[in-house]
Structure 1
């Protein structure tokens, strides 16, 4: 094994600060692809929640979705690109519409042994469509066989498996690939210094294998909405409901809204600015992509219907803070007040510190001030909301007075928030 520092050696996993819910644990393996300076060029991802022999179109979609939604794509892949193995069925999957093509390289297998020239040619329209949409395609050295010459012009990368051919064939393979394609070559399964030196001498610039780094695991404890809520969202989208109606549903389920904001701000989505409000997220995503996202979320959600008590408490907090803020703050700040309340229990939901929980979702600075530092315009509203829950009369009196709110105003808002949360749960 090389003495070079493993680029995955500092990879963080779920902190064991509380019991880990195995049902909500996403495990993704990544292996670095390095350039000639041994800097990370990209990562190949492997699904560790699915058995290796169960690689299907559904598991392909789940891997990409989990990588972007749950594992925290900045921690997983940073600003690099990601290589994902695909089945031929998954290449036509709607999940690819949710991914920014610049961020993802699709590794496409050749067909099974015995495939006819007609079957190979039938794949061309799908591959050409993906390239037209901006996706880069990677193939194994099998694409250099005569039967696949029609695929070669579509190759952005060709991966040469160092375990699949004799050393003396390295040079003719590299020369043939360069003469017949514009693809960047990657030497994969590099396990010795000799293999690395041989391919580097032939001008290969990218390398992957145990000589550099073994696959490292990324684990993420997730919070997932109830299936009933996701189905309700899907129904709204299919009915082409308005932005306000969809926003209302997001506001009643903190797990749904948290996952949406985290997904839409992931590096794979490709936005140049951060989305911090539910309304903006709905408008940016649009009904078609919202449907794709909800459908994928449904396939990875828990089957138990009732939201946990902590989620119910978070919804009450959000609505109460929204109502209290409406008494004193401009209308545009009420949504942020709701976000503070509804996300104030994320650390409990995820079983990790609040700072870590908020790293994976974009929020306005005043919201972060309240949640992380107990400061800023929303902090006294959050303190008052907590006092309403706990029955702390002293804190209640102090914060209500500081906000110039009467006992009647606060109690009435609290009753309204409780009733609203109950009605939301009943609808779900």
Structure 2
């Protein structure tokens, strides 16, 4: 599990009774970054880091004992911040986080304490970009440290830029990337920032893109990468309108829900050549242990089973119509991660069985289906003939399934208070447990070219 409590929390009480104590989980979630073609090109690892407050001098008197106590409390608070920084680095470097990156670049918020801590060496420069917040105090010591790390091939991102400030000016020469917050930047300033920074050779990331219109604006301004969930929103006539192949997949799903005969399933599958190829590859994989080569579609159906066929079909609804690998398709990866998270998480709840796990997977995988068909969500769910608890979870966040859906949504947004609220309703699952399951699910979704279902999704090629 990728959570850490701050070890040996410092606690010291002054004359006014103030205590400095920190003991909380440090965990991470990921947010996707897309390139100009709409494909995955990286993830930001968002860390939940407990806040360590500075001691309040008002709680201390002018007595010699209290002056000494205040000085010690300040030292203790700084030591606690350093301990938290170490845990944040370790969480980002954890193998679960590495698996969730699926080979893509990681972007990590770097606090002052992280930049100066030698634990930073756990984040290899070839895999991690260090994001510098605009409220960092860019004094001579920090600039020198950034310069030293730059010499060790670490790369930097100026994060959450809304307008240039002193920190921006001092650190810009060492930054390869500038991330501009679209939600908080004045629209009239965006073209000017983009023009000046592109002329300076900087890579531009647009952050906070929630609509296709926001993405198009950033794209037209020449931004290079895009962060936000605009790609998972319904589009009236956009990149992911359902064409004939998706409607064929929908027909197959409806057939699978009716307990078809092998002959019926064989006839419908023949209308989906890509799925047939996928099925044949898995049927001949070592994971099924058949001991002989499967050569017919009927034999592949019998060897594989309708449950696995249904899962592939559900996930393929999200696949981009272009020739792109599944691990680079942002919407498919998002849906697959949600589905696997839901399945893993519900198995940790009391009295959950196979039926509940299957329902959880369906809830996750179809929670984005309106983004595929561009129609009202309830209409599309009607076509899929989903059960009432699944529909209630997706439409109204009801029941345990709805609460798990709220939890993964909070993880996607890095909304830690929402995650804590969901965790409080989910029995034994702590926020750290949920974050850990989210990373495990992301790794499952991101593994391609693997024939074993438990390892991930296969690459589907034409």
- What TM-score comes out, normalization by structure 1 length? 0.40
